[in-house]
Amino acid sequence: MTLFVFNHQPYDGSDATWNALRLAKSLHQKGENIKIFLMSDSVDMARDATKKPDYYEYDLVQMLKELYEAGVPLSVCGTCMT
């Protein structure tokens, strides 16, 4: 089992979150057992109000939703959501 722990702001200008989501998707498609945990600023990816900025090429929120809808377990830090 592979646990992905996200803690960066989703659209922080780096490729860290995008690359991790791509890796998670690839592993899941190969049948690997993965889980995702969002904490700190990354919990914004679980908020409906978070939208992809115009300057950003990839919709990280949509990528996360697709993983969740494909059956990847997703947990979010409750304290961080508050």
Helix axes 60-69, 16-29, angle to 10 degrees: 20
Q: Report the pLDDT value the prediction gives residue 76, as an integer from 0 to 100.
A: 96
* Three-state SS at 2: strand
Q: Report the pLDDT value the prediction gives residue 13, as an integer from 0 to 100.
A: 86
Quick: pLDDT tens for 35-60. Answer: 999 999 999 999 888 898 998 889 99
2 phi/psi in degrees, rounded to 5: -115, 125
Cβ atoms 36, 2 nearer than 8 A:
no
Query: Has residue 24 got a pLDDT over 90?
Result: yes
The amino acid at residue 18 is W
Strand partners, 2: 34
